[in-house]
Amino acid sequence: MAVLIQGASRGLGLQFCKHILASRKELLVLATCRRPSEAEALQALRAEFPRRLALFPLDATREAEARQAAEAVAQEHAGLDLLVNCGALLHPRGGRGETSLRDVAAQDLALTLATNSIGPLVVAKYFTPLLLNGTGAFGRQSTDPGKKHQAILVNMSARVGSIGDNALGGWYSYRMSKAALNMATKNLSIELRRGKAKVICVSLHPGTVDTDLSKPYHKNVPKGKLFSPEHSVNCLMSIINNLDMEQTGKFFAWDGSELPW
């Protein structure tokens, strides 16, 4: 049994690796990032769990690398029980992103969409054959044989990607990229529940987490609402462990509440 964490070099991705290695000792963790040899925290974690953590290079904006990573994993593993797409970009130039229309640049939009929307979908494309061969180690299995699932696919989204929840505007590229990712999740959920082998597909909002990605906004976060990666992943794993086929295609916040598209 194995799980794959895409974008595992830091932040939530790294914490997902730590959590699963510590809590599910029967599982192997396959971690991807652009340059594993330079990911110091990930390398330290592999030194701690040399037999249960494997690293693979994967830049999700490069389709060939996604295909090669999937082929490399398939040579050693028959299936995957969980895939979490964590890799994300707030804005290519750093800072707070676009506060108004005058800040929008086509190049920034393209790179953000490539990283946050297209990349996770391409990763799903190449790893889905392994998900369809999973053992159903995560989530709650239905007593109805027709509603059993083989694996779970999680796309790490954000509340600002909700069109229905958008009351402030701004953040054009990031909002658009997460809204597009949510549409990819919905599409995947429809396609991957049709066959005999089924995969639960959900988007998850982790809350505002104390990571490099969210640093520009920390001073504006209300007291008690800036989460540690440990707290956020604990909450997200609780959701994942309780998913079933009735919830595929939905968008959940860290506290289990369903968010509008």
Confidence of residue 226 (pLDDT cuts 50, 70, 90): confident
| pLDDT tens, residue by residue, 52-84 | 999 999 999 999 999 999 999 999 999 999 999
Q: Which two tokens stand for residue 239?
A: 């959701």
Task: Say whether 231 sits in a helix, a strand or coil.
Answer: helix
| pLDDT tens, residue by residue, 147-161 | 999 999 999 999 999
Q: Do the strands 251-253 and 151-156 form a parallel or antiparallel pair, or are they unpaired?
A: unpaired
Of the candidates 174, 213, 197, the residue with the CA atom closest to the CA atom of residue 13: 213
Domain residue ranges of the chain, discontinuous segments joined by +: 2-253
Of the candidates 4, 3, 12, the residue with the CA atom closest to the CA atom of residue 157: 12
Average pLDDT over residues 203-218: 75
What pLDDT does 225 receive? 67
Which CATH class for the 2-253 domain?
A: alpha beta
**Which spans in the chain are helix H?**
11-23, 40-48, 63-76, 106-113, 119-131, 172-191, 229-240
